[in-house]
Structure formats: C-alpha cells, structure tokens
Amino acid sequence: MPKPIKYQTLRNIRNEKEIPLFDIAIALGLKSTGTYYKKEQGNVPITIEEAKILTKMFNTPFEKLFKSYK
C-alpha cells in the first residue's frame, strides 16, 4: 500500500517545473484537468501507476512525494 502523498510537495514541484495540468492529465490518461486537480488536492486517490508516471514527469524520487512512517 502506498504511503500518504505529500500533496503540497506534488503541487509545488509541478509549479516549479512549469508543467501544465493539461500535460499531466494527458500523461495519466485522465479525461480532464479537473480530475488531476482533484487528485493533487487529495480529494481523489493517486494510484501507484499514476505516482510512477508523475515521478518520471517531475524527474523526482518516488520517496520525495510520499511521507515515511516513523
């Protein structure tokens, strides 16, 4: 089971890299940017497969987007 996503980090990285919501929605196979936005806000879950795509798009380690359990 995936660890909780750091949603603020996800949003910050997307903004820093200037990746449009549209590009992410297309890469994830979503029908709209609104669906991805809901995922980024934590209202709709992000799957492991989607997380893998995001880490590649953002060129960011998987662990940076997920909280660790301590």
Per DSSP, the residues of 8-38 read HHHHHHHHHTT--HHHHHHHHT-S-HHHHHH
| Mean pLDDT of the 2-23 span | 86
What pLDDT does residue 67 have?
66
Supply the mean pLDDT for the chain. 86
| Mean pLDDT of the 51-68 span | 85
d(C-alpha 27, C-alpha 29), whole Å: 6
Q: Which of 11, 22, 3 is nearest to 60 (CA)?
A: 11
**C-alpha torsion sign, points 26, 22, 18, 65:** negative
Segments making up each domain of the chain, as ranges: 7-59
Residue found under tokens 């449009």: 20
